[in-house]
Amino acid sequence: MTIAPPYRLLFCDLRSDQLLDALPVSSLALDDYIGKTGRLTGNVPIPNREIAERARKALQPGRTGVWVERGREIWWGGILWTLQLASNPRGFLTAQIQCGGWDSYLYRRLLYDTQLAQGVDQFDIVRGLVDYAQSAPGGNIGITYDVEPSGITRDREFSRYDLPSIGELIDQLAAVENGFEWRVASYRDSNGRRVKKLQLGHPVIRAGASEIVLDHPGAILTYTWPHDASTLANGWQSRGASTNQNQAVDSYPLMSERLVADDDITAGWPRLDGSSDYTTVEQKTTLDAHARADWTAARRPVQIPEVEVLLGNNLSPALLGATVRVRIRDLWHPDVLDARYRVVGLSINPPERGRPETAKLYLEVPE
């Protein structure tokens, strides 16, 4: 059973983006996020020798890029990382594929040369890291970017002796106080070319101009609304790198300032402590900035409600970073929940026989 039109998967050479083949796929599921690598899974049926030969050439884990088309629009892009052949009792073969978004590539690339930045805009540091990855022989997979600044400068030294991945360095830079969000977006430009574009947003990524209203009962089929205090903390301290280079004596880590939300305690909350580790951070000012960012996040743990909707013309992966207005009336919300949320994730279930085309939107609760 193949997926119903208009979805189509294009399998391309990762480096050149040359089209290798377009093969039918069943049980397709895909998602995309801000702050988390998107994922695609599906099954390529192998009914005969011809398809088997085509699939062997096109489906090469670690070397094949994957684009998902819906009509003429690009809805997802990433890299084929795993392929598993499965045979059922009747001898029918299926190639089960798992793919990660383009940003998954940056977590597979290591920093082999020390990089130093002094008073450099944080976006330029990120773009420099991407350039470093793509300047190596065989390293260019075609990630592009704009040159707008964030307005926040940083001093950073990334040591080759730590062997960090490029993706981890970007995540660490993004997580500091006054940081940013990043992702690699997939789309087709005005000339019809497939584009992999580094998207940066300070303090967050925002998209979309027109407001979409989602009602329950109505367009929202189901929803899940978490309330989780398991990561709540109003006291915080972070640990950095060792401050002692003499191995003959005891070694202690660099410690950040100790942070306590006295106003929470006064308001009746119990004392709840948390910590974080940054074993490569050697400057106290940098460690303090990480601690303040972590403490701020821990005081108000992120809630990510999920709403399931029927997929229509106004709902697409372009919603990532956009604001939607959610209105819910039910037993828990007798006076109607009516608020605006930012879309930070999207999970799409394409139509199969007997199943409509739906999507789960992951929402960021406003502060």
Q: What value does the mean pLDDT take over residues 253-275?
A: 95
The average confidence (pLDDT) of the chain is: 92
Same domain, 60 and 179: no
Which element (helix H / strand E) includes 27?
A: strand 26-33
- Residues 66, 119 share a domain: no
DSSP-based helix, strand, coil % in the chain, nearest 5: 20, 40, 40
75, 101, 127 — which closes off a domain? Answer: 101
Is residue 219 domain-shared with residue 355, that is, in the same domain? yes
Do residue 263 and residue 294 come from a single domain?
Answer: yes
Does 357 lie in the same domain as 221?
yes
- pLDDT tier at 343, thresholds 50, 70, 90: very high
Percent of the chain with pLDDT over 70: 96
Range with lowest mean pLDDT among 223-237, 239-253, 258-272: 239-253
**Statement to judge: residues 49 and 138 lie in one domain:** no
Residue with token string 């950073």: 156
CA dist 124 and 118 (Å) reads 11
Give the pLDDT of residue 317.
86
Please check whether residue 71 is in contact with residue 90, taking contact to mean a CB–CB distance below 8 angstroms.
no
- Token couple for 18: 């040359």
Residue 218 and residue 327 in one domain: yes
Say yes or no to pLDDT of 1 above 60: no
The answer to whether position 207 is within a domain reads no
Q: What is the mean pLDDT of residues 326-351?
A: 93
Q: Within this chain, do residues 196 and 76 fall inside the same structural domain, yes or no?
A: no
Torsion of CA 158, 160, 163, 164, to 10 degrees: 20
pLDDT at 319 exceeding the cut of 70:
yes
| CA 152-118-183 angle, 5° bins | 50
Give residues with Cβ within 8 angstroms of 130, minimum separation 6: 106, 143, 145, 166, 198
Residue 219: CATH number of its domain: 2.40.30
**Strand 212-216 vs strand 323-328: parallel, antiparallel, or unpaired?**
parallel
* In a shared domain, residues 181 and 269: no
For residue range 185-219, what is the model confidence (pLDDT) as tens digits? 999 999 999 999 999 999 999 987 678 899 999 99
Amino acid type, 74: I
**Per DSSP, what are the bridge partners of residue 327?**
215, 338
* Arithmetic mean of pLDDT, 146-171: 96
- 2, part of any domain: no
Question: The domain containing residue 180 runs over which residues?
Answer: 109-201
Count CA atoms closer than 13 A to 205's CA, side-chain side: 20
Q: For the domain that residue 169 is a member of, what is the CATH number?
A: 3.55.50
**Could you tell me the two tokens for 176?**
């500091």
Residue 206 included in any domain: no
Q: Could you tell me which of 195, 187, 183 has the C-alpha nearest to residue 70? A: 187
Q: How far is CA 258 from CA 252, 289, 292, 294, 355, in A?
A: 16, 12, 9, 12, 53
Say how many domains are in the chain.
4
339, 217: one domain: yes
Give yes or no: residues 216 and 310 share one domain: yes
The closest alpha carbon to 200, from 173, 227, 222, belongs to 173
Q: Are 138 and 101 in contact (CB under 8 A)?
A: no
As a whole-number percent, the residues of the chain with pLDDT over 90 amount to: 80
Does any domain span residue 134? yes
DSSP-H helix ranges across 193-334: 262-266, 284-299
What are 64's strand-pairing partners?
A: 13
CATH assignment of the domain containing 82: 2.30.300.10
65 and 141 belong to one structural domain = no
